[in-house]
Structure formats: C-alpha cells, structure tokens
Structure 1
Amino acid sequence: MNTAEAAPSPSLRLLAAAVDVYKKVFTNPALSSPNPVRRSGFDLDVTIESVRTEAQDVVSLTLVRPDGQPLPAWRPGSHVDVFLPSGKQRQYSLCGDPQDLSRYRIAARRLPGGGGGSLEVHALRPGAALRIRGPRNAFTFVDSAPRYLFVAAGIGITPILPMTHAAGARGRLVYLGRSRESMPFLGELPDGADIRPDDEYGPPDIPAILAEAPAGAAVYVCGPLPVLDAAQRCLFTLNPTGSLHTERFSAAPVADGREFDLTLAASGLHLRVDAAETTLDAIRRVRPDTAFSCRQGFCGTCKTKVVAGTVDHRDRSLPDTERADHMLVCVSRSAGGPLVLDL
C-alpha cells in the first residue's frame, strides 16, 4: 500500500492551480462581487464589526456589509458558510435578531483538536474582511406549532436562541452545559429558561426532559451526539403526537460501514478505508488539505468526481443528476468493491 505522496502529475498541478484561483477569486472579498448562488443563498462580502467573548472558549462575531446595505433575510435555524482567510469553509448558525438585517451574528467555540476552523475564527479581529455564503436553513423552525420544547446543549444554543424568541410564550427552553462559565448568551435567554449546567445538576436526563414536552409539541434539540441520540431514541415513545427536529454540530459515527479500497486517480495513491472511517477521513490521512465543511452530507463542499466504482450515497443534497459520477466523501462510501476518485 502506498501511503506517501507521489510526485504531482501534470493533471494534479493543473487542479492545484485551479483550486488556487478559486480561493483567490471566490474567497477574497476584494476580487469577487456579491452573487446569488443557486440553492445556497448569496455570496457576499462582509466586514467584522465586533468580536465579543460570550463564554469560556466562545466568541461571537458581528458581521456587516461594507457598503452599509441590508443583509439577506433569514429565519430562525439558518446558517451561513464562512470562507476563512486560509480558504477553509465552515458553517455557523445565525444567532442574532432576524428582524435586524443591518448585521448578522455568529458564534464559535474554540476546538483545539478540531480541523482548525474554530482556532482561525478566534484569531479574527474587528475590521477584517470575510466572504460568506447563505443564509441557508437545514434546521427549519415550524412557526405553527401549538407548543415548543427547546433543548440546547453548549454551543447548540446558537440556532435555538432565535427560535425561542420567535416562539414566545408557546416555548420552553432547557439549556444544558458543562458549567455556567462555558454557556454563551445566558443574558439573552427568554424568561423562564431552565438552565442546567452539569456541575450543578449532574449529567442531563434527556428522557426526563423530553417527558415534560406537552402533547403535540414541536421539540427542537441541538447539541452533541449523545444528547441527539437520546432524543431520537425516546421522544416518540414518550410523546407520540410530538415532532422532533434536530441539528448536530459534529459528524455522526459511520453506521453499517464496510472496508473498501480507494484509489486517488490524479495522485496515484491507494488507500484502505476502514469500516468505521469516513471516506473523507481516509483521504485526509494523505491529503490533509482536502476541502470539507459540514461533515454531514448537506453542504456540498467535499463533492468529488467518481472515476470508477459504485457509491453508497448517504448524503442529503447531491442532485440525482450527479449521483452517477459524483459523491460527497464526508458521508458516502463504496456500495461494494473499490472506488476510484478524481483526486
């Protein structure tokens, strides 16, 4: 098995040059103009108006248009893609006031062991220029429910916070976290919010929390995988008339995966993708600069051309017209037999 980088082929050098041009033109605010992007909102330039520490290891950025024009309208649950100065693309929920289109607010928790995006966000300063895309909404707030229960854990408060204000008296918020010092936006919560840090209340009992949801309530849960998994396992047993809406901030573990061989055609590298490993993670072992963002199969950042092989598509966004010869490597994998990708 060849796990070392081979000498770049002419096609790989051409691809690298194209990627470099893309980064310069599409992520450099000075070189690209605001344009609508099909299915994904708008590409536009913003300036960081302010950076504020919201909690331990959490900062918020307030973003404005350089020309002072209004930003596109958005609904609670929406997010924007942020193109960082390094070229990394990351997604952050809008957590400000949807009625105030003079500015957007996003927040990020510092994750030293992550892919580096949060560390870069924490290093940004007021006055810096960014490129963003959106807003998009993969966590839709249904505003017609009779009652709501919101469960936010840690940085999961960011998409939930605007929802709680939109729901008003129909909603109840349970906010979980390690400690009050680690929980952002405590001063902006709606009246009656139930704040339950672990160091005061112990680990959260998710079934007990969900059992408090009124019949027919819309239940919104955002946070780490254990919280989401517990909600998905028990809600409909506890409340068969309710509806569950979730958003995760980390990749789901691979389910029912099988090992397969992977060839990166442009570089000539051959890899073995483990049963519990994503295609993306296997690629990043030898190509750590491979672009990705959501790791959940909906943003399209990691879309890759398939040269040969059959794909087990596990994404939520790739059009049917592209499934024969493309895949989202963050979640999709081989349906059986080797895969060859144009990388």
Structure 2
Amino acid sequence: MENQNFYEGRILVNMAASVMRQDDLKPLHGNLDWERLFRVADYNKISNLIYLAILGNNEKMPERWKTRFYERYSDILKFNESCTEGEREILVLLELKKIPVLVLSSSSRRQLYPREEMAGESSLKLFFLDPEDYLFAKGYLVNIGYETDTLYPGVGEKMRIPGRFSVEIYHTFPFKTQVYQRGMEKLLQRAFLKENGNYIYEWNAIDQLVYLMIQSAYLYVTGHLQIRHLTDLYVFYRKAAEEDQFQELENRLKEFKVNILAQKLLHLSYMWFGTREECASMETEEEKLQVFDILEKNVFYGMTGKFGPETDEQALDLRSDILKEEERENRMEKRALFYRRLREFFSLVRRQLKELYDILYSR
C-alpha cells in the first residue's frame, strides 16, 4: 500500500508539474487505476491540473474519469468567475459593520499561477481580532445566505452559500502549540490596514509567505499537507522572492522553530514544480537528497494518515509538542466530563431527596 501511495503520488506530481512548467508530459505506461488516481488528485485539490495535463498530452483514459476530471476543472472556472465578487461582498459588509478582521489568505493567490485556471479553489480566510466580532460576523453571513459547511472545533468554521463561494472564519489561530501561538501574535502585530479601508487588515508579501510556510510545516507533521499546498508555496515564494528579504524571512521562521523544515518543504516544491534553472538555484548536495526522499514519502503517506520514518529534528519536535497539547486537551475534556457528571449526580440526588422530603412531610 505504501509503495502504491508513493507511485500514484509521483504520477500526479509529474502530471501537475508538466502543466506548471508548461512542458511536455512523458507518456504514462501501465494499467493505471484512474478511479484511485482521481480520488487522490481530488484529495490534493489538483484535479484541474491533471485535466489540463491529460488535455495537453492526449492521454488515453476511460471517458468516465475524463469527465470527472473535467467537472473539477469546470468548477475552478466557475469559481474564478465568482470569487472576486464573493470576497468583495464579504469584506465590504465587514467594513460597513466596523468589524476589524485580518485576511489570512484570499483567492488573489490564483493570479500568481501562469494561468488562473491552474490554481485551486482557495477560500477567503479571515481571523477576527475580537472573539465577539466572530459571532457578529457569523450572524451577518447567515443573513446573506451563508451556511456552516465544516466546523473546526475550538478555532472556527467554514461557511458557504450552496454551490457558490466559501469563506473560513476563525476566532483562534488554527495551531495547537504555544510556540506557534506566540509566533502568530507577533505576525498579527505586523498586519496593517488595507488601502482605503479602516477595519480590514492584511500582511505584506514576506509575512504572507511566512504564514504559508509555517502552515505547510504544521500540516506536514500532522499528515494533512496536500500537493496543492506545495504548488501554492512554489508560486508564492517565486513572487515574494523578488523583494530579496531572505534574512528577514529566515528570522521570522525561526520564531516558529520550523525554519529548517519549512525551507526543506519549499525546496521540495521547487524540485517538483520548478524549472531546471530554478532547481539549479537551490542546488542540493548528493548526500542530502535522501532527506528529500523521506520528506516526499511522508507527504504521500500522510494521505492515508500514516507517517514514515522522520529524520528532521524540527518536524519531530513540532509533532511532539502537538501530541503533548492534544494529551493536555484530552485530560481537560475528561476532567470537565467528570465534573459535569458529578454535578448531574448531585442534582439527581437533590431532586430525589426533595421528593422524599415532600412525601414524608405530607404524612
């Protein structure tokens, strides 16, 4: 199964890379399981890239699955038509209601791709500076037709108008460790008001890149990193690198203690999707290639919720910190459950004693 995950992952990465680099795809040989490839591509949110690869290479495949890939590609075209207006509607609403909010990410990321239809369907992600504003904003979104699509316990939720635009809203940063929480507080302090706005905050290109890189590291160690995250990382870094602030980027990543891991993931994205010239600019020593093999396998194995052997110390430390925090949360939940049941028990005893007293008193 692990070899199958790796084999299928490599096929999909090669197909996606041929589209990203806009070069020829090598012919695919063998009896491919297109149903499984579709499911893996769909999980990784790159089905539209795979469709473009199939289209550009005249790849033979069962018509049923070609249609399914086309449907996902068509969904992206529809998203591109509606996302700008959908985002504008939400941000104007929050501005009018005087609700301060930080834009964590938006669909503007699609403009970094060679063609917008190569990008994924990225939700508008908002962090509310005041938890009470989160509740008000949710109420306003419900009033204009949004419904809860996915709950993120303890941090926020994803809301969507059926068949249309989606938005993720957060009252707590979606990271468990104290190191990440402190790092995010520092990032939050560097946010600035959007041009011509009084309540909508955003980051500069470097801080957006920091967020994207530390998010990728966190998703990697929790087994939720998708191929789409790495295509986003690749196109965003290529654009942000024009500002030539590498030392500043390094210093900010160190605040999260994932500077080495995050840069390895960035390097992996260039190895997958970059041109020869770009890969050459990130020359890797031969003895270190094994490190990237492990990294690559763990990205693919993470699709099944399993982890292969890990050698990166920062990844091991972060995973350990997350597990400790989850254990602490479990202890708190068990303690809360114990006291809740204890209160219920005493409440029941109190009612029974009262009933008994009433019976005895009536005699």
TM-score, length basis structure 2: 0.27
Structure with the largest fraction of helix: 2
TM-score, length basis structure 1: 0.28
Pick the structure with greater CA Rg. Answer: 2
